[in-house]
Structure 1
Amino acid sequence: MIILIGNQKGGAGKSTLTLLLANYLTTVHQHPVTILDMDYQQSIAAKAEKAKILENEPLYDVVPTDLKQFPDLLQVISKKKKDIAILDMPGKMDDDGLIPAIAAADFIICPFAYDEFTVDSTILFAMVVRRINNRAPTIFIPNRIKQTVKYETQAEVEKVIRQFGPIIPSLPDRIDFQRISTFQTPLILYPVVLPTLNCIYEQYLFKKEAL
């Protein structure tokens, strides 16, 4: 299974969500996971290297790579039928190298915020994804949401985004998200993130068929 996490807008929270999902899948459900870190900053790969220096055993492999290398890596990934590959995508839409990655995805997750620039980028990302790959379900996660802020355009934004896929429970804006690593998600964060991660897992990734 290939899970793509993307948005044209940089800073939408793709890398943090990638870590959250990878940690959840490996620790809560014991799925073998590989992360392909294709973001320009490669912050996940840097965290993986830091974990090695600190002698913390990573929960999964992190492969720093770029879009050009993806077609070759796909050949390797496809042979590991039981593994889940999570693609942390770069924040751009003007590279033809995106096409093979989007086309290969079995499931697409798009974190977004309610500010104007992020919403525009999210809609553009959704339109491109639908044109390239209309078989993979796409879900949207409101991210870095401030509980004390009233988002005036929230209803209008969600109405547009739902044309491309469902919006699932949001993730809040919390400073301790910076403590997430490739070997753990701090326990204090689990009550906050489980509603979102359980929804992804139970309703989309491994939905049980009704009897």
Structure 2
Amino acid sequence: MSNPFDQVPVLPVVIPLSIVLFAILVLWLRARRFLSLPRVAVAAALSIYVAGIVANTIFPIFLNAPGRDEPWTPSVALVPFVDYEVEDALINVAVFVPLGVLIALLVTRPRWRTVLAIAAGASLAIELLQLAAQRFAGGGHIADVNDFLFNVTGAALGYVLFLLVVRTRRGAALVDRFRWRTNDAQRKSPA
């Protein structure tokens, strides 16, 4: 008799996902003549980050979820700050801080509304994927409005840290090496 909670293995899904994303990003950099070691490092960081987010927010997915007598309704938490633990909030903030920095490195002109819109879109996508995984694939996470709010807060904090670094001349010079679009690159390209 098999274990009723057999799971889809995580690593065979997220490792190829990370490799494919990394290859696409490097090809994108090469096609736009932005290929450099610091930018490839950002591509690697983004690829690993995405794989980690998928592994920790979509999985576990149970292959043999136990049957139920009544129709199953996916779990969704839509009321903010109800039955939400401080530890969960802090984890969600911390996990999305890197996204705020990565967005600022990747977009041409990082602005508050751009960073927050991309972070909100990414967080909403995660919550919707969790809901879909629950409904259609035996997913083990709850879609939660609190996760969304604290994810976006974390990305905003990451962007604040980015802004603090680029306020100094040294910090700005260092960050420019990692940015995917710099002012010099924009001037050289025929746009």
After TM superposition, the score normalised by the length of structure 2 is 0.25
Larger Rg: 2
Please identify which structure carries the higher strand content: 1
After TM superposition, the score normalised by the length of structure 1 is 0.23
Please identify which structure carries the higher helix content: 2
